[in-house]
Amino acid sequence: MAIYFEEPSRTFNEYLLVPGYTSNHHIPENVTLATPLTKYRRGEEQPAISLQIPMISAIMQAVSDDNMAIALAREGGMSFIYGSQTIEDQAAMVARVKDYKAGFVTSDANLSPEMTLKDVIALRDTLGHSTMPVTEGGRAHGKLLGIVTSRDYRLSRMDTTEKVSSFMTPVEKMIVAPADTTLKTANDIIWEHKLNSLPVVDDQGCLLYLVFRKDYDSHKSNPQELLDTHKRYMVGAGINTRDYAQRVPALVEAGADVLCIDSSEGYSDWQKFTLQWIREHYGNTVKVGAGNVVDAEGFRFLADAGADFIKIGIGGGSICITREQKGIGRGQATATIEVARARDEYFKETGVYIPLCSDGGIVYDHHITLALAMGADFVMLGRYFARFDESPTNRVNVNGSYMKEYWGEGSARARNWQRYDLGGDKKGMTFEEGVDSYVPYAGSLHDNVAVTLAKVKSTMCNCGAVSIPELQEKAKLTVISSTSIIEGGAHDVVLKDKSNYGSSSI
Ligand code: RVP
């Protein structure tokens, strides 16, 4: 006979935290958000990898490339580079994160001298910044010919057909630095010559990096950075249950710090086989998460199979239509609560604490706090990060508003048939489980994460907690009625500025 879960399947929106006692010790400055990423014997040892903030970015083409990984590691979180690409391309992204020299930026678009002012304006609007190097043929590592900044052109005085070569600052008039320049020296040069940016070139004069004045400052003000023992940024990578024998060695070789099996449904033999293969070939030296699951049985299966962390969530992602298409899934709050109970039982039995990740369905900043209070150790976010400058997609103007594109890994666009496999060849994916969409452009990752975490810390203080484990222990949660949801927003008043309202939805 079929099993019925009598408890309705609830979402984060149906819960609130009831405040606890706040002492004068419970202030945001005292809150630490450090949290374990991989399993460990709690009380006896430290986890091999911990995050400084409880946020990781989704294993998705529209979210997690090397650029995102660097920006998020700088804040203390971690990206999992998407696996729906060739092994070589994914390994190259991982390697770029590991090779990244803080403060040295690889230019994301170069101009060629033949381009026009019109091209410059279009590129500036897409990229969101106005300093662009000019190289031979516009190539990424081409010979440096000059630079264009907002000071080099005036739209009111110039024709948009004017060629870049006629208004750029030519390389002869620029200060450039050689390849072996340290960040300290670069900053001294920037300071001494009152520059905003300094190009670094090789001995052929080809462009390697740009060092920006503001980057050096921000580097200095990021004490939370997530670094490995060689002081390189940490990065994760998604894998699938098909080509692991080739993909895992390439990713390990490239320097990935942790892997995660990326699947919409993780309670399967395919995940067990993948974990077994990794243990056989690497023992415990390669850390790997698994998922996704939404109940105690699924958790126990992946815990016994050897997962280092376990991801929760089926069908709750903003771009995900798995529930509509296949009728499987569970409300994200209910799933998190049940899996966390199973994890705590497992810990009592074995002494091993397996960190949990609540993946998908975070719509408001406070949903992060709810997920943590319910027992998650960190959350995975897709839509949230897709909106930022650092995500892999271009900013586009849609009816006068800036947007970023965001599509599901199960959409035809991602053609990620591996993620939805049940073994066998699924190249001919017959139906989609994700949509292709826009999300409102929201600016820089740094600024947005700061606001989000300020809210998380503030709520933790209201609950009398200065750490995530303390929050999990002390949290008091209440289910709310639909009318109390209305009561929780601005109501029964005439808003002066509707455009600002709802901005708390992230
Ligand atoms: P969200 O943060 O709500 O945008 O959700 C992101 C999550 O959605 C991902 O981490 C993944 O688990 C899930 N996802 C990604 N693609 C798809 C799909 O196409 N159905 N779902």
pLDDT at 506: 63
300 carries an active-site annotation? no
pLDDT at 419: 52
Measure 496 CA to ligand 1 centroid, in angstroms.
35
Which atom of ligand 1 lies closest to the CA of 433?
A: 20
Does residue 107 carry a pLDDT above 90? no
E strand map for 174-287: 177-178, 197-201, 207-212, 236-239, 258-261
- Given this chain, do its domains 12-100+232-422+429-500 and 117-219 carry the same CATH topology? no
User: Strand 436-440 to strand 401-407: parallel, antiparallel, or no bridges (unpaired)?
Assistant: antiparallel
Mutate to test the pocket of ligand 1, among 72, 84, 319 (most ligand atoms within 8 A of CB): 319
What is the per-residue pLDDT across 155-174, written as a single tens digit (0 to 9) for each? 888 899 999 999 999 999 99
Does residue 251 carry a pLDDT above 70? yes
DSSP letter at 444 equals -
42 carries an active-site annotation? no
Q: 35-39, 401-405, 414-418, 492-496 — which is least confidently predicted?
A: 414-418
Helices (H), 382-502: 383-386, 445-462, 468-474, 482-488
Q: Locate tokens 């002012």: which residue?
A: 117
Which atom of ligand 1 lies closest to the CA of 262?
A: 12
Measure 408 CA to ligand 1 centroid, in angstroms.
6
Mutate to test the pocket of ligand 1, among 357, 359, 406, 417 (most ligand atoms within 8 A of CB): 359
pLDDT at 424: 43
Cα–Cα separations (whole angstroms), residue 422 to 56, 245, 293, 403: 26, 17, 15, 35
Report, as an integer, the average pLDDT of 24-35.
97
pLDDT at 67: 95
pLDDT at 105: 83
Cα-trace Rg, the chain: 24
φ, ψ dihedrals at 170, nearest 5°: -70, 155
**Tokens representing 202?**
């090789």
Q: How many CA atoms lie within 13 A of 367 on its CB side?
A: 24
CA 317 – CA 333 distance, rounded (Å): 13
Does residue 127 carry a pLDDT above 80? no
Q: Which of 215, 175, 209 shows the shortest CA–CA distance to 195?
A: 175
pLDDT at 422: 47
Which atom of ligand 1 lies closest to the CA of 384?
A: 2
What is the per-residue pLDDT across 228-240, written as a single tens digit (0 to 9) for each? 998 899 999 999 9
Measure 57 CA to ligand 1 centroid, in angstroms.
10
Which atom of ligand 1 lies closest to the CA of 410?
A: 19
More confident residue, 221 or 120: 120
Confidence of residue 502 (pLDDT cuts 50, 70, 90): low
Confidence of residue 184 (pLDDT cuts 50, 70, 90): confident
Report, as an integer, the average pLDDT of 461-485.
96
Q: Which of 74, 260, 320, 343 is catalytic?
A: 320
Confidence of residue 456 (pLDDT cuts 50, 70, 90): very high
Does residue 205 carry a pLDDT above 60? yes
Helix (H) or strand (E) holding 224: none
Does residue 311 carry a pLDDT above 90? yes
Measure 195 CA to ligand 1 centroid, in angstroms.
42
DSSP letter at 42 equals T
Percent of the chain residues topping a pLDDT of 90? 79
DSSP letter at 392 equals S
Domain boundaries, the chain: 12-100+232-422+429-500, 117-219
**Tokens representing 228?**
């490995």
pLDDT at 505: 58
DSSP letter at 445 equals H
pTM of this structure: 0.84
Measure 314 CA to ligand 1 centroid, in angstroms.
9
CATH 3.10.580.10 matches 117-219: yes
User: How many other β-carbons are positioned within 10 Å of the β-carbon of residue 206?
Assistant: 16
CA 73 – CA 88 distance, rounded (Å): 22
Which superfamily does CATH assign the domain made up of 12-100+232-422+429-500 to? Answer: Aldolase class I (3.20.20.70)
Does residue 504 carry a pLDDT above 80? no
CA–centroid distance for 277 within its chain: 27
Report, as an integer, the average pLDDT of 202-210.
93
CA–centroid distance for 255 within its chain: 18
What is the per-residue pLDDT across 326-381, written as a single tens digit (0 to 9) for each? 999 999 999 999 999 999 999 999 999 999 999 999 999 999 999 999 999 999 99
